[in-house]
Amino acid sequence: MRLRLLSLPLALSLALPAAACSTPGGGSGGAGDGTVKTGGTVVFALSDEPDVLDPTLANTFVARVVFTSFCEKLYDADDKLNLVPQLAAELPKVSADALTVTIPLRKGVTFNDGTPFDAEAVKISLDRHRTLKGSARVKELAAVKTVTALDPATVQITLSRPFSPLGAQLADRAGLIMSPTALKKLGDKFGTSPVCVGPFKFESRTSGSEIRFTKSTNYYDADKVHLSGVTYRIVSDPNVRAANLQSGDVQAAERLAPTDALQLKSNPDVTLRDISAIGYQGLSINVGNVAGTAAPAGRVNTPLGRSPQLREALELSLDRDAMNKVVFAGQNAVDCLPLPLQSRFRPADAKCTPYDPERARQIVEASGEKLPIPVNLLVPARPADQKLAEVIQSMAKKVGFDVRIRQSEFVSSLAAARAGDFDAFLIGWSGRIDPDGNLGDLVGTGGSNNFGGLSDPAFDDLIKRGAQASDDAERQKIYTEALARNAQLRSIIYLYHERWFLGLSSKLTGVVYPGDGIARFKTAAFTG
């Protein structure tokens, strides 16, 4: 069997020293100066409450944040969103027919309950992800046919179809490995006292308040862990997170508001780090969702739904830079692609539709539609979304659109969007490191998040080919074509990537903040 590597050159993975395997990039540069102390607990202000801490069932972004402290994955992502081995020893090796993936595992690793980490444990976790009733991982691992423990340090995965994004899936929740002993003991209640391989082990959870972890003595890289614990405190309001950071009640706070971040820059007690989030914000246009996302796409009889030219006019009317300045103090990164700015799959010469209200007005007037053209804009009831919707309304009005904002609480707005009850829907996507995760399910035929109901066989074919191709250069070529087609169809007008600000106490050093926007505390320490 001829083997080749998935996603990254072999040289890169082999060049990585073993210790570096579990630490992605992201500038672990210390915030503080002075001697590194051993001990102390970091209190981290989390932006929302995680759901169940069970890798198979969890589906919130914040749960991903918490998992990094106590539950390692087969792979992780670095600054540039490249895969780096974590519990795996090397990058996955793919057979010539792309249907068999072999993963060598780290040796001498134990779970936080002392259970040895081996191929059988990986098989148990992956099988649970694929088969447990209600598992949120089923779709992510749909291409997996079998998982086999070849020997204690090697796992082999066979696929029903070639699927390049598998590596990226294993660098997300589908790659989290659970202790077989704890699984046997707790079953579907694993999330109440989860046990994995990680620098910290689960201590307690006070629902709605905080989750505590203490240093693990079983961790294979324990000599790099300086803190005696990490506590995740749920502080939903960004202004309150900033105040807590300033008062010293928390030593780290994620997703600070851009306006607070500007103020904190001058505070000597606080150090700021920022990244462009891998997710995006966009305006989904209903082009074919006539009976819900689960039903076949049809023909939507609205001016925007019928006419790609009017969708172009709407995009031409939007000044992304002005939106960013007015709503986000200029801190976000405006963009017209769904791929993260760090992604190596982005086309080198990508050009956005420029702001051109004159041209937009001409298209609207030539459309033959009765003016102003009504647009029912569905908006989740969140302060920033409301402001953004008002800016869109004002910009689109100037070229002949009558945007009527319909605010709805988040879950209700998602229900309305899935039912096709909108002309345009202001919604974002949390983002994935592989292009497939930012396209297939969002604009591909039948995708569960394809709110606009786009159904274009040519585009679907490109997405399918992109997922099947295993060579990076070939994939980039396919995705460049797919993105061009996507831009033509305009079922989503992409607006920006959020800039996430991580605030740290200046006494804290060694916190890693890689491209996925999730802070890691494995190497963090207080300074004297």
Partner 1 sequence: MGQFILRRSLASLIVLFLASIMVFLGIRALPGDPALVLAGESPDAATIAAIREQFGLDAPLPVQYANYVAQTFQGNLGISTKDRIPVADILVERLPVTLELTSLAILVGLAIGVSAGIASAVRRGRSTDYVATGLGLFGLSVPHFWLGLIAILVFAVKLRVLPASGFVGLGEDPVENVRRMVLPALVLGTGLSAVIMRQTRSALLGQLSADYVRTARSKGLSRSREIRHGLRNSLTTVVTVLGLQLGALISGAVVTEQIFVIPGFGKLTVDAVLSRNYPVIQGAVLVTVTGYVVVNLLVDITYAYLNPRLRLSGASE
The residues that bridge with 334 in the sheet, in sequence order, are: 496
Binding of partner 1 at residue 240 (CB under 8 A)?
Answer: yes
Token look-up 């081995």 returns 85
Which residues inside 453-482 make contact with partner 1, applying CB under 8 A?
none
The single residue among 292, 414, 445, 485 that binds partner 1, judged by CB under 8 A, is 414
Residues 415-444 that bind partner 1 (CB under 8 A): 415-416, 418, 430, 441
When the beta carbons of 140 and 315 are compared against partner 1, the nearer one is: 140
Report d(CA 310, CA 290) in Å as an integer. Answer: 19
Q: With binding defined as CB under 8 A, does residue 191 bind partner 1?
A: yes
Among 139, 161, 184, 404, binds partner 1 (CB under 8 A): 139
| Shortest spacing between CB 134 and partner 1, in angstroms | 5
> Could you tell me the smallest distance in angstroms from the CB atom of residue 425 to partner 1?
14
d(CA 304, CA 371): 13
* Residues linked to residue 243 through DSSP beta bridges, in sequence order: none
Residue 293 is classified by DSSP as T
Classify residue 310 by burial, with Cβ atoms within 10 Å: 0-12, 13-18, 19+: buried
Please choose, out of 111-119, 246-254, 321-329, 467-475, the segment that lies near partner 1 by the rule CB under 8 A. Answer: 246-254
H, E, C per residue of 84-102: EECCECCCCEEECCCCEEE
Among 62, 174, 235, 364, binds partner 1 (CB under 8 A): 235
DSSP tag of 527: B
Q: Kindly state the greatest CA–CA separation across the chain.
A: 72
Does position 209 interact with partner 1 (CB under 8 A)? The reply is: yes
Of 72, 78, 118, 140, the one binding partner 1 by CB under 8 A = 140
> Does residue 187 interact with partner 1 by CB under 8 A?
no
The CB-of-517 to partner 1 minimum distance in angstroms stands at 16
> Can residue 254 be called a binding residue for partner 1 (CB under 8 A)?
no
Residue 248 Cβ vs partner 1, minimum distance, rounded to whole Å = 7
> In this structure, are residues 302 and 422 in contact, taking their beta carbons and an 8 Å threshold?
no
234 sits near partner 1 (criterion: CB under 8 A): yes
The yes or no reply on residue 249 touching partner 1 (CB under 8 A) is yes
Using CA atoms, how far apart are residues 162 and 460, in angstroms rounded to an integer?
Answer: 16
Residue 152 vs 292, nearer CB to partner 1? 292
Q: What distance in Å separates the CA atoms of residue 4 and residue 469, rounded to the nearest whole number?
A: 13
Stretch that binds partner 1, among 136-144, 327-335, 392-400, 466-474 (CB under 8 A): 136-144
Contact 46, 251 (CB under 8 A): no
Q: Which two tokens stand for residue 377?
A: 């804009």
Question: Is residue 448 involved in binding partner 1 (CB under 8 A)?
Answer: yes
Phi, psi of 527 (to 5 degrees): -110, 155
**Which of the stretches 215-223, 241-249, 302-310, 482-490 binds partner 1 when contact is defined by CB under 8 A?**
241-249
Least Cβ distance, residue 138 to partner 1 (angstroms): 6
CA–CA distance from 107 to each of 25, 110, 118, 153, 177 (Å)?
23, 9, 8, 7, 15
**How many of the chain's residues bind partner 1 (CB under 8 A)?**
54
Name beta bridge partners: 406: 378
Report the run of H or E that residue 101 belongs to, with start and end.
strand 100-104
Distance CA 511, CA 231 (A): 14
What are 235's two structure tokens?
């502080």
CB nearer to partner 1: pick between 308 and 446 = 446
First-to-final CA distance of the chain: 55
The stretch near partner 1 (CB under 8 A) out of 4-12, 48-56, 284-292, 463-471 is 48-56
For residue 24, is the peptide bond before it cis, meaning its omega torsion is within 30 degrees of 0?
Answer: no
For residue 147, the minimal CB distance to partner 1 (Å) is: 19
Q: Using CA atoms, how far apart are residues 131 and 85, in angstroms rounded to an integer?
A: 25
Q: Which is nearer to partner 1, 21 or 339 (CB)?
A: 339
Candidates 16, 41, 51, 274; binder of partner 1 (CB under 8 A) is 51
Say whether residue 410 binds partner 1 (CB under 8 A). Answer: yes
Contact residues for partner 1, defined by CB under 8 A: 43, 49-54, 57, 59, 133-136, 138-140, 188-189, 191-192, 205-210, 233-237, 239-240, 243-244, 246-250, 294, 408-412, 414-416, 418, 430, 441, 448-449
